[in-house]
Amino acid sequence: MTTIQGPGIFLAQFLGDAPPFNDLRSICTWAESLGFKGAQIPTWDARCIDLKKAAESKTYAEEIKGIVNECGLEVTELSTHLQGQLVAVHPAYDDLFDAFAPDAVKKNPKARQEWAVQQLKYGAKASQNMGLNAHPTFSGSLLWHTFHPWPQRPAGLVEEGFKELGRRWTPILNYFDECGVDVCYEIHPGEDLFDGVTYEMFLEEVNNHPRACLLYDPSHFVLQQLDYIEYIDFYHERIKAFHVKDAEFHSTGKQGTFGGYQSWLKRAGRYRSPGDGQVDFKRVFSKLTEYDFKGWAVMEWECCLKHPEDGAREGAIFIQKNIIRVTEKAFDDFAGVKTDEAFNRKVLGLS
């Protein structure tokens, strides 16, 4: 077994225009002061990294890593969540998802997709240049608008959607394989990979690609009322990244899992700071440790109530308390008997 690394922090939700949140060095210094030991870097934010440059220049990639190290942290992973989303976008969402793309490719879905694919490849190479082996992202979606179909879905629609998703991602996965990096899909509502069944459908289309791995985030499963503990039993071999994010679900006589188009504050299911929701993190950390998860426990702050700085300060402590330092011996070793085949056979009544 391996002791999970952490606590880490995903910087995306904390970046801002005012110090100490407006550049990589200052935000990492702030994070270290709270007790964090690692930082997951959002690659779409120029305040943190120039992704293309990090892919093309190992020297620059090492400089970015050096800045983080000088602040007392490690780079846990590079994230391309927003770029991954743009690998597959249904036209109904074009205008909304254009916000994730640079001006040069907006209003041009084909160019936007090509830009996103190149961004993912930059992410693979930049990760390799930094000595990282896991890379969180989103899958994108062609089918989400049909998840609760009315009218009924035409026969073969889902199969065709996943076939196309597999076609788009296979060359990206192959490039990640060349770089020695796992793609860690965050299983998330709004993506075509939103639960275990859809993940398995995708795996079939990419021929069980060894790099098609998972980012485990139990908060999304609370909102779906999916068994997030058994999920680890099913997919532990593919889980290569871990977001510590909490959630709660309280259905009423007026709304349930779909949330009634309400704001996050008023939904039956909503995200909370670590420790404030319903996720049984003691079991989560125990399960991941049992299955020898070797990655980082990275806090992702998304809470409709708590101030982010309070969430970060409490989150570092929360993760540290839940990390299990693995034992190197069995608790009953003191009563052990030396291995002796003849003695063992005698105990079994065989001699």
- For 285-326, the pLDDT digits (tens) are 999 999 999 999 999 999 999 999 999 999 999 999 999 999
Three-state secondary structure string covering the chain = CCCCEEEEEECHHHCCCCCCCCCHHHHHHHHHHCCCCEEEEECCCCCCCCHHHHHHCHHHHHHHHHHHHHCCCEEEEEEEHHHHHCCCECHHHHHHHHHHCCHHHCCCHHHHHHHHHHHHHHHHHHHHHCCCCEEEECCCECCHHHCCCCCCCCCCHHHHHHHHHHHHHHHHHHHHHHHCCEEEEECCCCCCCCCHHHHHHHHHHCCCCCCEEEEECCHHHHHHCCCHHHHHHHHCCCEEEEEECEEEECCCCCCCCCHHHCCHHHCCEEEECCCCCCCCHHHHHHHHHHCCCCCEEEECCCCCCCCHHHHHHHHHHHHHHHCCCCCCCCCCHHHCCCCCHHHHHHHCCCC
Q: What is the structure's pLDDT at 55?
A: 98
Percent of the chain with pLDDT strictly greater than 90: 93
pLDDT higher than 90, residue 271 = yes
pLDDT higher than 90, residue 337 = no
Mean pLDDT for the chain overall? 96
Q: 190 falls in which pLDDT band (50, 70, 90)?
A: very high
pTM over 0.85: yes
pLDDT higher than 90, residue 334 = no
Per-residue pLDDT reduced to its tens digit, 145-158? 999 999 999 999 99
pLDDT higher than 90, residue 333 = no
Q: Hey, what CATH class is 5-347 in?
A: alpha beta
- In the predicted model, what is the mean pLDDT of residues 258-276? 97
Q: What is the structure's pLDDT at 62?
A: 98
Per-residue pLDDT reduced to its tens digit, 88-137? 999 999 999 999 999 999 999 999 999 999 999 999 999 999 999 999 99
Q: What is the structure's pLDDT at 79?
A: 98
Q: What is the structure's pLDDT at 341?
A: 87
Q: What is the structure's pLDDT at 289?
A: 98
Q: What is the structure's pLDDT at 63?
A: 98
Percent of the chain with pLDDT strictly greater than 70: 100
Q: What is the structure's pLDDT at 327?
A: 87
Per-residue pLDDT reduced to its tens digit, 31-85? 999 999 999 999 999 999 999 999 999 999 999 999 999 999 999 999 999 999 9
Q: What is the structure's pLDDT at 347?
A: 86
